[in-house]
Each structure stands twice: as C-alpha cells, then as structure tokens.
Chains A and B, each alone.
Chain A
Amino acid sequence: MTIFAACAALLMGLGLFGLITNPQPLRKIVAFNILGSGVFLLFGIVARRGAAAGVGADPVPQALVITGIVVAFAATAMAVALLLRLFADRGDTRLDHESAAGTEPARDDCRPP
C-alpha cells in the first residue's frame, strides 16, 4: 500500500507538470487524466486502509472513485469537443491568443432571425 501511495503522489506531480508546462491543449487534457487518476488512486489507498468487516477495502471511497472516473470522462469529452471545434475553426489550438475578445466586436448570433 505504501508503494501505491508513493505512486499516487508521483502521478499527481507528473500530471500537474504536464498540465502546466505542455503548450498543446490535447496533451494538457491527457495530463489532466493522469493527474485525476493519481487522485483516484489516493481514494483507493484510503479505501484499502479502511478494510474491515470482512471486505478488503472500504466500499464508500470505491464508489466515489467510480463516480469520479465517469465525471472525469465527461470533462475529457467536453474538452476534446471544444478543442476539435477550435481546430476546425482556426487550424491551430493554441491557447495563448492574448485579449481573447478584445480585438473583435461583440458577436451575438443568438438573436432571433
């Protein structure tokens, strides 16, 4: 268990590093998933430490992780969809365009026709 605790902490560090330093949003999303799985692993260690009453791991943190994995997937799906749309519109996916809305006049094409 000690081994996986150290593993979880290192995974979180790695994921955070990738999220901060990698300029490509797609790689940021991958890094976020590694960061997230490190956090989930921490839940797993907490669950394993809570082994009692004849089960090998506390079921409550396990259930929380299952919920968390699904939520993380939903986040990934939304981020990927935004990324692909950005790529389709602009041909690149850089996030360092300054003053995002500062240069262009307000667009409001949600008005009724």
Chain B
Amino acid sequence: MTDAASQSVLPVLGIMLPATGMLLMLLVGGRYVEWLALILLPAGLAVAAAIFAAVWREGHTLIYVVGGWQPPLGIALRADGLSAAMMLVTAVIICATGLFAGPQFSQPRGRPERRAPLVFWTLLLAIWAALNAVVVGADLFNLYVALELLTFAAVPLVALTGGTETIEAALRYLLFALLGSVSYLIGTVLLFAAYGTLDIALLSARVRPEPISWIAASLMTIGLIAKTALFPLHLWLPPAHAGAPAPGSAVLSALVVKGSFFLIVRLWFDAMPGLLNLAAAQLLAGLGAAAILLGSILALRQSRLKLLIAYSTVAQVGYLFLIFPLAGAASEPASSIAWTGGWLQLFSHAFAKAAMFMAAGLIAEALGHDRIAELGGIARRLPISTLAFALAGLSLMGVPPSGGFVAKWLLLLASVMQGQWWWAAVILLGGVLAGAYVLIVVGKALAPAGAAAAPTAPVSRRREVVALTVALGAVLLGLVPLQPSELLQIGRLDVHALAAR
C-alpha cells in the first residue's frame, strides 16, 4: 500500500519516547526526575529533528503501520511536512520551557520528594507525547485518545500552583474539554458508521458530500473549537492560562491549544477534502475575526499581566481560522500563500507567546505580583525580560521583520488577492489593537518606579536569557526564507494520491 522508502519508525518514537519517559519519571521519583528530563528533552528534540530532516530530504510522508496491521483494521501514523514542522516547533518550545523551568522546579537534595517538580516534569513530557500523537495520528479514534491525553496533561498543569482560583479554572477547563471530546466522538462514530473506516487517508477517498458527512464534520469541529478556545467557546482559557505557573502557561498557550486546531485543519483539508464549502469556511473565519477583535479589546482592559497575555492568545488563535476561507479556495497562488501564512502565524505565535509568559513569570516573581499599573521601573530591574516581552510583542503586532509580520502579511496578501478584503481589515485592526496592549505594558515597564515601589526579588539570569532567546526565535522566523512553504505542502498531495488508489 505504501512505498518502502517512506516507512519509518520515527513517528512511533516521537510518541513513545516522552510517554515511556513520563512513566519512568513517576516510577523513580525524587531527584532522578530532573536527570531523566535532562536526557529525554534532548533525545526528543533529536527525534523531532530527525523526522524533520527525513521529510525534508525525501520530500514525502513518513508512514508507520503499527503492529503491521494495515488500516482500516489497524492504525497508521503519518508524518507529513506539516507534522514534521509542528513536531520540531513543539520540541524546541518544550526544550526551551524545560531550560526555563529547571531552577523553578528542582528537587532539593536530601529532602523528601516535593510535589510541584515531579508533577511538572511528568506533565511536560505527557503534553509532549500527546502533541506528537496528535500531529502524526492518522486514525480518528487514535486521535481522540491523543486529545484526551493532551487534556489530562493540561488540566493538572493549570491547577499546579494549588490556589483555589486555579482549581476552579482547571475544573471549568476540564468540563469544556470533556464536552468537546464527546462532540468529537459523536462525529467519529458517525463517520465510521457511514464509511467503515477511521483512517484519514482511506476516509478522504470514501467520503462524499452528503448530509451525514456534514453532520459529523460539524460536530467534530465544534468539539475541537471548544478545546481550541475559539470565540464563543473561549471563556475557560484566560483564567486557566493565567493561573498556571509561568512555564505551564507558556506550554499551554504556545502549544496545547494548537493541537486541537491542527486537527480541525486535518479534518477539513485532509480527511474530507472537497467538503469545505464557502459558507462553512466563512463562518469559521468569522468566529476567528470576532475572536481577534474581542480578545484584543478584552486584553486591553485587563489589569493583570498574565491575564492580558491570555486574552491575547484568544485573539491570536482567531488569526489561525482565517486559513479556512483563504487557503480553502482553489485559487493558486493565493491559497498557498494563505496556507503558509496561517502556519507561520501558528509557529511565530508559539514562540512569541511562550516568551511572553516566561517574561511575565519572571516579572511576577521579581515583584511578587503582576499588576500592570505597578510595573514601573521593571525595565531597569529586569532589562532582559522586558526586552523579551517587547520583542515577542513585536511579533504579535506584526511589525517587520518578525515572524508575526510575515505571517500576517501573507494572510493579508492572500485576502486581497482573493478579493476577500474584509479579512484584511480585521488583520490590520487586530495588529493595531495588539500594538496598543503591548505598548501599554512596555510603556508602564519603562516608566520610572513609583514612590511605593516594592523591593524586587532576585531573578535567575539564565531564565531571562531563555525567555529572550525564545522571543528572538519569534523574530527570526520572519527572516527564514519562504522555503518552509514547500515543506508545509509535503504530504498534502500524498494523502490525495493515496486516496486515488
């Protein structure tokens, strides 16, 4: 069924390395957890890099048939260009988060095991395994299990600090996520009932534009939207993402919400090509546009830094949904431009948002609070963190030469080329609003310290540098030549070619 050259065990390793690593951590406990992390993080990065290199070099999808049982009876894993890019970005952000979190979550020597370090490191690896399973999954039910893995890793991370507010945020997040899972599951069973397979490639060949496909796709999309926190199902996100400890927020905002978004794209572009029609695409993008405007305006009104950043995630996730009308239309090259722009937005937001939450975490640690009104003088105390925040902000605003700029520019270009100018207006307005909320924070940080400025706690220089490096990553993404656009197309054709057989 598949040519030998594309068989590779690497996707399995991408899932199983962090998954078994997580089990091992729980088994050994105590100080060994950090040592294991020290081994597993680079190893996982190496696997991701190997997959990226293999897909790049060979130019087609890597496939692994688990247990040798071909779909539809068995489960296959597929790493196409998009999966490879997602895996690499995930690995880089996870490793950076690990470096950032190292001093915060370390076990003291010769004392009983502490709660937070053990839980944090195991959850970090579990999130990694789940995200890798989501991006290489090719079976709708296997993807359901992967999504649940992601949820069950993310929820305790929200509640990690143990504050009552965060427990409540975690519970609300869990309830939203469970409703989303159920909705997704109904769609899955309907598709299986109609077409007798759960495999995405087989499904894309069998699916017909008929009512049951529509119903299934809608239910699955609604479920995934609840997990992605697209407006109007975004209510759970700000308290959850703001309540987690800084490294947790970084991973949640940068990566976890993207996992379910990735599946929405998989569903409409890979599993059910040709089913995406204008009305559905415009509706999704319309919700995205509402999220951009509403999220940005709410971000402007926040008095706390972490909540501001969390609302900014609501807004930035909105941009991703512009991919549906812009890349879904069959008008080359505009749709390819939009496709590249959409994914670049995802990647640059991942870097920018991770950096922002890291910087905000350091600022909160130094001040003992994160009230925006009382940030005065922090630029002098923590110049590196402030710079990291500002650089990440540039990418969110879409200022050249950042990755966010290129992404938004490509989306803008695509919408103008296709005559869908209203999305262009939203993109520009969103950029202006993002500029406003970033400038409020930076302006306050640059202001002189107030008379009642509290003394600041010392902050690790190493962690500041990690935040800055991640922010630089967001900027540098804008300088990468547009070659990745070709990578992002790898496998899209493969799936269709497979479908044709």
Binding site for B on A (CB under 8 A): 12, 19, 25, 28, 32, 35-36, 39, 42-43, 46, 49-50, 60-61, 64, 67-68, 71, 74-75, 78-79, 82-83, 85-86, 89-90, 95, 97, 99-102, 104-113
CB-CB under 8 A for A46 and B116, given A28-B175, A78-B174, A107-B161: no
Candidate in B104, B152, B163 with the most chain A CB atoms within 10 angstroms: B163
Is the beta-carbon distance between A90 and B182 smaller than 8 angstroms?
no
Chain A neighbourhood of B106, CB < 8 A: 112
B323 smallest CB distance to A (angstroms): 29
Complex CA distance for A71 and B152, rounded to whole angstroms: 10
Interface residues contributed by chain B, number (CB under 8 Å): 58
Answer yes or no: B170 CB below 8 A from chain A CBs.
Answer: yes
Complex CA distance for A11 and B463, rounded to whole angstroms: 51
Interface residues of B in 163-177 (CB under 8 A from A): 163-172, 174-175
29 A-B Cβ contacts within 8 A? A12-B186, A19-B179, A28-B175, A42-B186, A46-B192, A50-B196, A60-B73, A64-B189, A67-B141, A74-B148, A78-B174, A79-B175, A82-B155, A86-B171, A89-B167, A97-B165, A100-B172, A101-B165, A101-B166, A101-B304, A102-B302, A105-B370, A106-B304, A107-B163, A108-B246, A108-B361, A109-B162, A110-B120, A110-B161
Answer yes or no: B293 CB below 8 A from chain A CBs.
Answer: no
Complex CA distance for A49 and B267, rounded to whole angstroms: 25
Answer yes or no: B498 CB below 8 A from chain A CBs.
Answer: no
Chain A neighbourhood of B443, CB < 8 A: none
With CB as the reference atom, state the residue of chain A lying closest to B106. Answer: A112
Is the beta-carbon distance between A113 and B178 smaller than 8 angstroms?
no
Is the beta-carbon distance between A95 and B172 smaller than 8 angstroms?
yes
Find B155's partner among A43, A78, A97, A107 (CB 8 Å cutoff). A78
B259 smallest CB distance to A (angstroms): 17
Chain B neighbourhood of A60, CB < 8 A: 73
Binding site for A on B (CB under 8 A): 73, 103-106, 108, 116, 120, 141, 145, 148, 152, 155-156, 159-172, 174-175, 178-179, 181-182, 185-186, 189, 192-193, 196, 238-239, 242-243, 245-246, 302-304, 306-307, 361, 364-365, 368-371
Known pairs A82-B155, A104-B163, A105-B371. 9 more at Cβ < 8 A?
A: A32-B179, A39-B186, A46-B192, A83-B171, A85-B159, A101-B304, A105-B368, A110-B120, A110-B161
What's the dominant secondary structure at chain A's contact region?
Answer: helix
Complex CA distance for A39 and B73, rounded to whole angstroms: 22
